[in-house]
């Protein structure tokens, strides 16, 4: 397959381009798993596909370097499937259309999959290269990271042989990550019924679009709008002042992406319809002014449409709107130990109605377990007051920083010698698989690093071309430097 991204290093970009041609949304990774396993086998390397969908490829040490510590290169197979509302794209079948935009590579109206495709491509390039110096290597490609980390959770203890783990899933070149937040999903359900719409009403759809969205951990502190919160603000005023009846709502799509779009079908008493439209126009201007810097492309539209025959039971829609109004969203607390690091947050990711229920999905993150527990209690109490069912599931642990890590010292010294400056050592407010793998394989010495990726989990995702070269050079030198 021709490489249509002819940059340095060519092996990395070759594999990354091939990955863009393989649909690999979370939970639909069969083809990319086949590609990775086939690559390992074609190189004559020991290749294992486990019951959790992970692929492990082992490469022997360069002759004379067998005594070095074993290194595990770890990345994940799946990508977040997000697209702009006007983009026609089926993530189960269609390849990603990559676009070179100056110093960046992005996609045409969809997520690019640089998260974590660049890490996967780098590991494949290491496996393929016969001119690198390294000790015993393992490349671990985990399944379903973006939708619950089930691959990492399902990894059998004792499968990995290495003692150093290099996670290639970070998004700021020049930074070494030594810790991450833990997280847990919240699923909130309002059981509801529909009732006939009696009286003289006019139908409208409300559109909230144009938001940047982004990664619910990495971008949660950027002040971007959440489409679910913005929509609910409009529904709240409409129901309190104009008799709004809610027929349906659909906002957000993934629990680890900040909601970019929301759509609601509503009915307004005919005698209040014009006043409602005027109110929404004023509110839209006010909200857009709030987000004029963080989300300058925000659009709020009200479109006359068919009047719904049925609407959600009024008492349920009232409780839903009030609950979403008070559910926390965004940064809850900044870290007291690391300047600029978010400690605790909640992403109010999805609000969608249908089939007799309204479902809200959130992703809670914190690097302090007690604060995560407190946030769970807060959300649980809100749900109790609102009469909603809820459960917390798919918890994953954080990764506690070890400032005395030997691999940290090695990589920090190496970076300073190679680039003439110190790397930024920090933790990340996102879920990395290091926390899970460190629990499965006690004693692993771990670092996470990668090239510069902006706006992951959104159609604005892009990767900086030059940073990929520096990331590769640093990775190669790190493999050579183990002792």
Would you name the residues annotated as active-site residues?
Answer: 78, 145
The closest of 124, 150, 117, 156 to 22, measured between CA atoms, is: 117
Give the angle 243-249-255 at the CA atoms, nearest 5°.
140
Place of tokens 């702009």: 84
Distance from C-alpha of 288 to C-alpha of 278, rounded to nearest angstrom = 15
Residues in the chain, how many? 483
| Tokens standing for residue 445 | 């010495």
Torsion angle, alpha carbons of 19, 20, 24, 30, to 10: -40
Q: Which two tokens stand for residue 78?
A: 């799946």
Handedness of CA 44, 49, 53, 58 (dihedral sign): negative
For the chain, counts of helices (H) and of strands (E): 11, 23
Give me 224's structure tokens. 């971007």
Residue pair 145/437 in contact by the 8 Å Cβ criterion: no
Query: Comparing C-alpha atoms, which of 58, 73, 75, 39 is closest to residue 136?
Result: 58
46, containing H or E segment: strand 46-49
DSSP codes joined into one string, 206-239: EEEE-----BTTTTTTS----HHHHHHHHHHHHH
Task: Please list the residues that pair with 426 across neighbouring strands.
Answer: 177
């Amino acid at each position: 397959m021709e490489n249509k991204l002819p940059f340095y290093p060519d092996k990395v970009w070759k594999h990354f381009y091939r990955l863009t041609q393989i649909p690999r949304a979370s939970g639909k990774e069969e083809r990319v798993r086949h590609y990775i396993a086939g690559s390992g086998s074609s190189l004559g390397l020991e290749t294992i596909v486990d019951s959790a969908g992970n692929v492990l490829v082992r490469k022997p040490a360069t002759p004379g370097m067998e005594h070095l510590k074993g290194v595990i290169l770890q990345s994940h197979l799946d990508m977040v499937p997000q697209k702009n509302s006007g983009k026609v794209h089926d993530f189960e079948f269609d390849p990603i259309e990559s676009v070179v935009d100056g110093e960046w590579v992005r996609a045409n109206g969809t997520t690019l999959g640089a998260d974590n495709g660049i890490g996967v491509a780098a590991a494949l390039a290491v496996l393929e290269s016969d001119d690198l110096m390294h000790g015993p290597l393992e490349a671990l490609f985990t399944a379903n990271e973006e939708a619950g980390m089930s691959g990492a959770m399902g990894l059998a203890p004792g499968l990995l042989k290495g003692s150093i783990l290099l996670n290639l899933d970070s998004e700021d070149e020049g930074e070494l990550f030594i810790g991450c937040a833990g997280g847990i999903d919240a699923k909130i359900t309002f059981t509801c019924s529909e009732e006939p719409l009696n009286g003289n009403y006019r139908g409208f759809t409300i559109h909230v679009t144009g938001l940047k969205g982004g990664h619910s951990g990495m971008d949660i502190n950027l002040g971007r709008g959440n489409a679910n919160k913005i929509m609910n603000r409009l529904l709240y005023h409409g129901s309190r002042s104009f008799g709004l009846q809610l027929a349906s709502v659909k906002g957000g799509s993934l629990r680890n992406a900040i909601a970019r779009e929301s759509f609601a079908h509503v009915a307004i008493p005919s005698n209040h319809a014009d006043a409602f439209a005027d109110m929404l126009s004023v509110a839209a201007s006010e909200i857009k002014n709030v987000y004029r810097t963080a989300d300058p492309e925000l659009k709020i539209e009200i479109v006359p449409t068919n009047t719904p025959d049925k609407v959600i039971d009024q008492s349920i829609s009232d409780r839903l709107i009030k609950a979403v109004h008070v559910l926390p969203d965004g940064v809850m607390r900044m870290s007291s130990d690391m300047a600029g690091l978010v400690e605790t947050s909640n992403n109010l990711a999805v609000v969608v109605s249908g089939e007799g229920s309204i479902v809200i999905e959130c992703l809670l993150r914190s690097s302090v377990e007690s604060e995560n527990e407190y946030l769970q209690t807060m959300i649980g109490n809100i749900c109790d007051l609102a009469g909603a069912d809820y459960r917390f599931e798919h918890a994953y642990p954080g990764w506690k920083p070890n400032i005395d890590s030997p691999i940290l010292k090695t990589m920090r010294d190496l970076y300073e010698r190679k680039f003439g400056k110190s790397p930024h050592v920090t933790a990340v407010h996102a879920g990395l698989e290091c926390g899970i793998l460190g629990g499965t394989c006690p004693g692993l010495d771990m670092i996470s690093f990668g090239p510069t990726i902006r706006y992951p989990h959104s159609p604005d995702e892009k990767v900086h071309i030059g940073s990929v070269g520096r990331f590769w050079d640093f990775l190669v030198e790190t493999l050579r430097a183990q002792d």
